[in-house]
Amino acid sequence: MNIFVINSGSSSIKYQMIKMPEEALACSGIVERIGSGDATITHNTYKDNEKQKHEAQSHIRNHVEGLQAVVDLLTDSKIGVIKDTSEISAVGHRVVHGGEKFSNISVVTESVKEEIKKLFPLAPLHNPANYRGIEVAEKVFPAAKQIAVFDTSFHQTMPEKAFRYAIPNKFYKENGIRAYGFHGTSHKYVSAKAEEYLQKKDIKVITLHLGNGCSVAAVKDGKCIDTSMGLGPMNGLVMGTRAGDIDQSIIFHMVREMGISVEQVNNILNKESGMLGLTGANDMRDINKAVEENGHDAVLAMDIYAYRAQKYIGSYIAALNGVDAVVFTAGVGENDVNTRERICSNLDALGIVMDKEKNRATGIKGVKDISHTSSKVKILVIPTNEEMEIARQCYQLMETNK
């Protein structure tokens, strides 16, 4: 069974085709700068564990043209992986916000699409683009089952004491204002991998998804009991351009005393804060270079970044009443040895002790154990694969509904 996974952005389409149940990656790629005169397509095919990269530039006016260009590559006589679109059994769509309505994946129907549209205000940067991807895929892959996989669904197991805010009840009951959490597909994937690696059931895991967007989750017995992001993806850890946790009084001060509009404040906290606001850069490679040069702003920013993560680790150990493993994943979590070292420092009282040599070792594939022999808690680096997790869930749904 061929599962085609789509992550549709406002001007991009990321995709993978995965053969199930073998979990074999057939192709992957991204269409970027849709709507501009210089849109690009990077398409990778995989055969005998070897990747072949194909790049093209084209005038792609919209997502329909973008996805059609991908289909042309999928069915190309020389590099194609299928003969025609009828060989795609299901299209799995990443949808960022599912609200309380969707606690599991869902076959896309007209009513499901209407619910996704209702959630546009909660994820204005993501859900409209995800919705557009569904509508385009319905036209391009008419024979395939369209399936929505929600970032928020993994976090729907949080108890009410974790997801409710201490504001008047009517705002929750009438407006759905509560913590939903994000990066759920990633947290689900790596927490399951940790359980598999440790060969232990009912484990307690803290997963740190550290990329340009960052979040942390407390997972017990495979279920999320708390997570750092809230109503939207701005809360919690310090991120590439997002502030994370902030005193609400700052927002009112900026509006009332400084004359900054609400729209500007939203833009500042979303796109101009975090590591970018503190250092002028949001790429950890650039920030680490500045740290090496002893740049004060960069050093302070890294201290703030690590300190915030440490506080969440400590609080989630309390929430879990112990922890078996701390897991690092996503771009920064998987690749930045310095960030991992900073976060794991001074946590020995919690039983978390890193082996610095293991942390800096390269060439390790799969799960990387970087905990010291004296550590009571395993420290693991696990590459995330959200597309594979989406494909798995789609395949299971297709098999169940046979």
* 283 assigned ligand-binding residue: yes
Q: How many CA atoms lie within 13 A of 331 on its CB side?
A: 10
Q: Could you confirm whether 324 is annotated as catalytic?
A: no
Query: Is 126 marked as binding a ligand?
Result: no
Query: Annotated binding residue at 284?
Result: yes
92 annotated to bind ligand: no
335 is in an annotated binding site: yes
Residues in Cβ contact with 76 at an 8 Å cutoff, skipping those fewer than 6 apart: none
Q: Is 114 annotated as a binding residue?
A: no
| 322 is an annotated ligand-binding site residue | no
Q: Which residues pair with 91 in a beta bridge?
A: 4, 146
195 is in an annotated binding site: no
Q: Residue 121 gets which letter from DSSP? A: G
* 212 annotated to a ligand binding site: yes
Q: What does the block give as tokens for 301?
A: 């920013």
Does the annotation place 334 within a ligand binding site? yes
336 near 328, Cβ under 8 Å?
A: no
Contact 50, 165 (CB under 8 A): no
Question: What residues are paired with 326 via a beta bridge?
Answer: 206, 379
With beta carbons less than 8 A apart as the criterion, state whether 351 and 376 touch.
yes
The total number of residues written for the chain in this structure: 402
Assess contact for 147 and 107: CB atoms under 8 A.
Answer: yes
| CA dihedral (114, 121, 133, 2) positive or negative | negative
Q: Could you tell me the CA-to-CA distances from 199 to 74, 138, 193 in Å, in that order? A: 38, 41, 10
Q: Does residue 43 have a known ligand-binding role? A: no
Q: Which of 38, 48, 151, 247 is catalytic?
A: 151
Instruction: Check the annotation: does 211 bind a ligand.
Output: yes
Is 22 part of any known ligand binding site?
no
- Is 331 labelled as part of a ligand binding site? yes
User: Is 255 labeled as ligand-binding?
Assistant: no
The b/e string for 276-314 (b: 16+ C-beta within 10 A; e otherwise) is bbbbebbebeebbebbeeeeeebbebbeebbebbbebbe
Q: Cα–Cα distance between 33 and 31 in angstroms, integer?
A: 7
Say if CB 216 and CB 237 are below 8 A apart.
yes
* Residues with catalytic roles: 151
Residues making up the annotated binding site for ATP are 14, 209-213, 283-285, 331-335
Residues making up the annotated binding site are 7, 14, 94, 209-213, 283-285, 331-335, 386
Residues making up the annotated binding site for substrate are 94
